[in-house]
Amino acid sequence: MDKLLDTGSQWRRLPTYYGKSKTVHNLFMQWIKNGVFEQILTVSINATVKHFGSPQAFITDTASIKAPFAKFGGKTLQIVV
């Protein structure tokens, strides 16, 4: 996500270890269509409310690491939603 924000969503400028830019873009669009990011946010909010109670504000921060499948160019990735 940092690379996307930093480069203005220029998929071709992603590091090669993520795989082909078209494949990464297609997966990203599939995740958007399937509501993956909304689900992540919902689970995160629900876990926070369960642990701390109802907050007045909610802030999400993220970090990323190189995924194990990336060494294969992303070709073996299977998404289960």
> CA separation (Å) from 73 to 29, 39, 61, 65?
18, 26, 27, 15
Q: What is the largest CA-CA distance in the chain?
A: 43
Tell me the residue range of the domain where 31 lies: 2-72
48: Cα within 13 Å, side-chain hemisphere:
13
26 located within any domain: yes
Q: How many structural domains compose the chain?
A: 1
Q: Is the pLDDT at 34 greater than 90, yes or no?
A: yes
* Of 36 and 66, the one with more pLDDT: 36
Amino acid sitting at position 65: I
77 located within any domain: no
Q: Average pLDDT of the chain?
A: 74
Mean pLDDT value of segment 32-59: 85
51 located within any domain: yes
81 located within any domain: no
